[in-house]
Amino acid sequence: MNGGQWRQRAEVAVLIARLIVERGLRHRDARELLAGKDWTRDREGLKNALKRQLEGQSDRAGGRVLERISQKEFWRDLERDCDWMELQGHDVWLWGDSDYPAGLATIAEPPAALFLLGSGRDALAAGKLVLTVVGTRRPGWYGQAATDHFVRNLAAAGTTIVSGMALGIDGLAHRAALEAGGQTVAVLACGVDHVYPPEHVGLYTAIQERGLILSEFPPGSRPRRSWFPARNRLLSGLGAATLVMEAGRRSGTLITVEHALEQGREVYCLPGSIFSPESSGPNRLIAEGAGILLDVERLVAELAEGAAGPEAAGVGRRLRQQRLERGEMPQLPADAELSLPARRLLEVLALRPANLRELGDISGQSEESLLLALQELETAGLTTLVHGRYVRRWQGRL
């Protein structure tokens, strides 16, 4: 892409974002504008495309748009924003781009334009398992330890971690992902050039260097209270599942959960003490049917049975390979004397979960022999069944 093409794309992205923020342009109209190609010719082509898009609208919003794009000041401000974006190395994704995040394409009101900053443009690429991690701004030691444990293991195995860069769980998740050598995406309720909260200026810099900062709001925008719920729909939409670590009953985290459920995404929660206020939110969600966060491999095995199957399966294979490399083999009871068929199945399941038919194909054993061997392994506490697939337990846990 040459400089002129980048400038044209940046200009239309800023125009769309500013008009949406000013409540003059609807997301739907912006997406329809981009579906046409008149805007790619020149500025006059863009103005004419906007006018045609808004023809016949009797509401005041359409009138505001036409008034704004006729003002020289509007275009001077837009040019200034594009100059700033170019200077800072910003980029944009537009609706219809081949690398527009697939997770957002299916949600209600997907943004027509996204602003991004950072080196990790491939963090949301096709084939990546993307998980959203959210929670309270004031986590206890349990929530902190659990977030670090889950995120480090997931990120090290190739999972992209998405969060909102808030204090508390969000910041912990971003840091754990980076420290594990993984990728993380921060979705902001302000412009990508604005550090919020200011306490996270160091984290913001680290994400910019090794991850991705993302926003639908135009450059220079400070956060507004009303923008956080809108931002949360992007958090949940990007992830194949949302992981809730700790949150009170009235936590803003639950807005993200509501978006996830509306979008058809999975929700998993960290169970906690009934006496802990910060576990009341996750515990209630579990009681209402949310998944339970008990172990990294169990989570990935369950995700592999859903829409994120291929991506989760790849992460699962890397998790098991890492455990093998660390020498974390299953601990057999001292008095366990496994049969040869059972030992062979244990070796097969060290590579990946498998159903009965797959175990038969790989091991060459008869169904009767397989069932006897599996019963032997389950009795010894070395395997368990998760959604129709047998999973090997590691050191007494999944």
- Sorted by sequence, the CB contacts under 8 Å of residue 197 that are 6+ apart come out as 165, 166, 167
DSSP string, 180-198: TT--EEEE-SS-TTS-SSG
> In the chain, pLDDT over 70 holds for what percent of residues?
91
Q: Judge whether residue 398 has pLDDT over 50.
A: no
pLDDT band for 396, please (50, 70, 90 cuts): very low
pLDDT tens digit sequence for 217-264 = 999 899 999 999 999 999 999 999 999 999 998 888 999 999 999 999
* Mean per-residue pLDDT, 257-276: 94
* Mean per-residue pLDDT, 186-205: 96
Q: Judge whether residue 134 has pLDDT over 90.
A: yes
| C-beta of residue 317 within 8 angstroms of C-beta of residue 352 | yes
| C-beta of residue 272 within 8 angstroms of C-beta of residue 324 | no
pLDDT tens digit sequence for 288-304 = 999 999 889 889 988 98
Distance between CA atoms of 61 and 285, rounded to whole angstroms? 39
Position 60 scores a pLDDT of: 67
pLDDT tens digit sequence for 333-371 = 544 578 888 888 887 887 677 888 888 888 888 888 899
Position 330 scores a pLDDT of: 52
3-class DSSP state for residue 85?
A: helix
Q: 358: exposed, middle or buried (C-beta count within 10 Å: 0-12, 13-18, 19+)?
A: middle
* Paired residues of 132 in beta bridges: 162, 242
Distance between CA atoms of 24 and 75, rounded to whole angstroms? 16
Q: 201: exposed, middle or buried (C-beta count within 10 Å: 0-12, 13-18, 19+)?
A: exposed
pLDDT tens digit sequence for 52-66 = 777 656 566 667 777
pLDDT tens digit sequence for 90-133 = 899 999 999 999 999 999 899 999 999 999 999 999 889 999 99
Residue tagged 């016949």 (tokens): 56
Distances 125 to 121, 158, 159, 389 between C-alpha atoms, Å? 8, 12, 11, 28
* Mean per-residue pLDDT, 317-341: 69
- Looking at every residue in the chain, the average pLDDT score rounds to 87
Position 397 scores a pLDDT of: 40
Cα three-residue angle 309-327-144, rounded to 5 degrees: 65
| C-beta of residue 127 within 8 angstroms of C-beta of residue 310 | yes
